[in-house]
Amino acid sequence: MKGRLLAAAAITLVLLITALSAGDKKIGFTNSIYSTSPKNPSPYGTSKLYAEASKRWKTVIIDDVGRLEAYNDRIVYIVIGPDKPFTSKEISVIKKLASEGRLNILIADETTISSTLVSSMTGARIAPSILTDPGKRLGYTFIIDIECMDAGRGLASRTSYIDSIPINATPICMARGTYKAGEIEVENPAIGIYYRGGGYEAIVIADSSMCANFMTTESPWNRGGNMHICMSIIEKLAGNTSTIIAFDAGHYEGSDITLRLGPIALGILALPHTALKGLTGPGPWMLYAVTLALAGILVNALFNAYRPSTPAYPESWMVYKFLKHSRDPITILAYRLGLRGYAARRLLGELRRRGR
């Protein structure tokens, strides 16, 4: 009986502290876990890059290209792996701001979705084929060793390459060695280029995953992660002037979800009192279980709102190590309860479905 009372008091206290500390704190994310949106905290999103950039520059998320015209400061517009192509009207707005010297742009994409934007801004062309390493020098067919500017070495995953480099552009990221692109062999392909002309600068990277959460995070197969490379690329475009870093979020599938943590905590606390009363005697234990689960989810959400969690590594054999070494409290709890096998099977199944 005493243990149940203590448990009930602990749940109540946690929810009260969460409500008071969160206040009107919001946590926003997208329900499309495979998009490279800055709102996506999953392994494939770019929320970590957005968070890191926010430490150094004024950083915003743009859902509508037209909003770029409202800023007076110089803009670095970042487009990473969009799901939807840019319209001619949107490209006209971007081109106008760039020609006025108000905007530089980073485009990272290995698909043809961004081809019109890339061509309009730089005249470059991203090859339609994915690079593979038949010799698996790094242990994987689709993992490519790259070297970018002074930032040093990193990795690219399922990357394409720039097969048409304009006169005003120079390679800044290279894959050393010989690789296969479809049926042809490519020697020292350019993964990224730096373009300067028309009053603006642009960087094109033929890989959207290079700056995704699972690649920027340090892992045993990517010591140091790619964050230093991605931040160096942004810094090259930002320069020393007053700059706004604008991440595109308007060209992804899925819808946005925003949660206000304080009101949610109070809402859970206001569940029928029988949910907690069941702890002190015969009662609806299911309601208690639901309350406990919601409390855990809420605390985890608050924890991650202030410090994004470490995403799972995409390679199948790394799932176990991620679960074992994660600093996320709910993941640690899941691991200790023996759920690691279930989580690994789910992720492995999805990776196999996606052909990774």
What pLDDT sits at residue 2? 58
Give SS3 for 24: coil
pTM of the model: 0.67
What pLDDT sits at residue 239? 83
What pLDDT sits at residue 306? 41
What pLDDT sits at residue 254? 61
What pLDDT sits at residue 152? 81
Give SS3 for 104: strand
Residues of the chain with pLDDT under 50: 26-31, 258, 272-274, 279-280, 282-283, 303-345, 356
Q: Which domains does the chain have, with CATH numbers?
A: 2-26+260-354 (no CATH), 32-248 (3.40.50.880)
Query: What tokens were used for 92?
Result: 């006209």
